[in-house]
Amino acid sequence: MSDTDRRTNLPPLRLHVPEPPFRPGDPVDYSHMEIPAAGALDRPAVDAPAATMREMPYGLIRVLDGEGRATGPWNPRLEPERLVAMLRNMALTRAFDERMYRAQRQGKTSFYMKSTGEEAVAVAAAEALDRDDMCFPSYRQQGLLIVRGWPLVDMMNQIYSNKADRLKGRQLPVLYSAKEAGFFSISGNLATQMPQAVGWALASAAQGDTRIAATWCGEGSTAEGDFHAAMTFATVYRAPVIVNVVNNQWAISSFAGFAGGDETTFAARALGYGMAGLRVDGNDPLAVYAATDWAAERARTNHGPTLIEHFTYRAEGHSTSDDPAQYRSAEERSAWPLGDPIIRLKQHLIGLGVWDEERHAEMDRELAEQVKAAAKEAEKNGVLGIGLHQPFDTMFEDVFEEMPWHLKEQRAQMRAERESAGI
């Protein structure tokens, strides 16, 4: 029988195109999702070889149960005061987001991105890291700056691209940079921060430092070449770095399946590289803290990098330029089975007897006023479209240590043309 005859008996090849489980107008049913009980997953020793933890990327580290009780080996047993501070920082992040979202709708800035529902991913992780560890974030980790006490006014100045913007209006709003806070410049190009974080971690180790690096990206960015280059270097040289993959189910309008989420977990990316991999309930602040604390100790004691997948949900649109009603069911947010990180931590604190609804409401009012006052202060420096915020000369600065001759000529030409035009 010829090869041609043999192939006639085979079914035709088919292309698999990932399809989200729910489209606009569809009823939402998450009963297919396997969610293990809180406390069900073991906590390996920090120095355990990655090859002995192959089940970790397929489970889900959870500490808070449905009643808000902390249970299991991953319970970090934090003091109530520490938990209240974590709750406050998550609530402050949400209040900041709400104010800046309204500012964008009022035309005061061109763009904004909220982290609603994902506050624990940044806030709880920042609480577990040391203050001088270096963070290489994506564009939804404003909670890192808030935990580290960075001034809200300075963040707003950047969003407004006004005359007090330390980045001189050169970055898209929300692409912050704060070296003093250990917060590396955010890039709008996906995953570029991943090899940068690994490189910084390698330099820290080469210099005999004690600081580690942590980096964040969305699940869609794991399809970028930069992500895989970073994973290779991190594993080969045992870089002291934590690679955080925020699986919020959606990369703009493409659901997680297009990045490989249909076939396996994103934490399982670690297995092919020989790296420790954890999958954590990203809406459980205690679980995020515990996983980050474990990975930080592992990195700091020279046992290598860790990939953490934060399994969460993007409650709002990708940005103010996005309308999620066009590509996903409106019921998804309310039906998400892992709940809201702020509500879950609030319930836990109430259960401990150190918090109540009245104090929570008062905190929300206080934080709203704090953010409002910061916004008024920042708006004194200008908002979108009102006045020239940065001198024209700055477009030629901060690229070269010493300005080359051709830029000096261009600057002189610009000055002459503006002077002749009476500007």
Q: How confident is the model at residue 9 (pLDDT cuts 50, 70, 90)?
A: confident
- Say if 321 falls within a structural domain: yes
For residues 255 and 347, membership in a common domain is answered with yes
The pLDDT value given to residue 389: 81
For residues 287 and 167, membership in a common domain is answered with yes
pLDDT at 338 over 90: yes
For residues 211 and 355, membership in a common domain is answered with yes
Question: Could you read off the pLDDT of 281-302 as tens digits, one per residue?
Answer: 999 999 999 999 999 999 999 9
pLDDT at 387 over 80: no
For residues 296 and 417, membership in a common domain is answered with no
For residues 407 and 372, membership in a common domain is answered with no
For residues 80 and 160, membership in a common domain is answered with yes
Question: Could you read off the pLDDT of 214-234 as tens digits, one per residue?
Answer: 999 999 999 999 999 999 999
The pLDDT value given to residue 173: 97
The pLDDT value given to residue 141: 98
Average pLDDT along the chain: 95
Amino acid at 95: A
The pLDDT value given to residue 393: 87
The pLDDT value given to residue 185: 97
Tell me the average pLDDT across 164-173: 94
Q: How confident is the model at residue 2 (pLDDT cuts 50, 70, 90)?
A: low
For residues 358 and 395, membership in a common domain is answered with no
Number of domains in the chain: 2
- Say if 152 falls within a structural domain: yes
The pLDDT value given to residue 378: 98
Task: Give the residue from 219, 374, 279, 210 showing the smallest Cα distance to 62.
Answer: 279
Question: Could you read off the pLDDT of 92-129 as tens digits, one per residue?
Answer: 999 999 999 999 999 999 999 999 999 999 999 999 99
For residues 357 and 253, membership in a common domain is answered with yes
pLDDT at 303 over 60: yes
- Say if 20 falls within a structural domain: no
Q: How confident is the model at residue 399 (pLDDT cuts 50, 70, 90)?
A: confident
For residues 367 and 399, membership in a common domain is answered with no
- Say if 45 falls within a structural domain: no
pLDDT at 4 over 70: no
The residue with greater pLDDT, 346 or 422, is: 346
For residues 302 and 398, membership in a common domain is answered with no
Question: Could you read off the pLDDT of 76-97 as tens digits, one per residue?
Answer: 999 999 999 999 999 999 999 9
The pLDDT value given to residue 5: 64
Domain CATH for 185 = 3.40.50.970
Q: Which residue range(s) make up the domain with 68?
A: 50-379
3-state DSSP of the chain: CCHHHHHCCCCCCCCCCCCCCCCCCCCCCCCCCCCCCCCCCCCCCCCCCHHHCCCHHHCCECCECCCCCECCCCCCCCCHHHHHHHHHHHHHHHHHHHHHHHHHHCCCCCCCCCCCCCHHHHHHHHHHCCCCCEEECCCCCHHHHHHCCCCHHHHHHHHHCCCCCCCCCCCCCCCCCEHHHCECCCCCCCCCHHHHHHHHHHHHHHCCCCCCEEEEEEHHHHHCHHHHHHHHHHHHCCCCEEEEEEECCEECCEEHHHHCCCCCCCCCHHHHHCCEEEEEECCCHHHHHHHHHHHHHHHHCCCCCEEEEEECCCCCCCCCCCCHHHCCCCCHHHHCCCCCHHHHHHHHHHHHCCCCHHHHHHHHHHHHHHHHHHHHHHHCCCCCCCCCCCCHHHHHCCCCCCCCHHHHHHHHHHHHHHHHCCC
- Say if 226 falls within a structural domain: yes
For residues 413 and 349, membership in a common domain is answered with no
The pLDDT value given to residue 164: 95
The pLDDT value given to residue 381: 95
The pLDDT value given to residue 53: 96
- Say if 353 falls within a structural domain: yes
For residues 151 and 283, membership in a common domain is answered with yes
- Say if 412 falls within a structural domain: yes
- Say if 24 falls within a structural domain: no
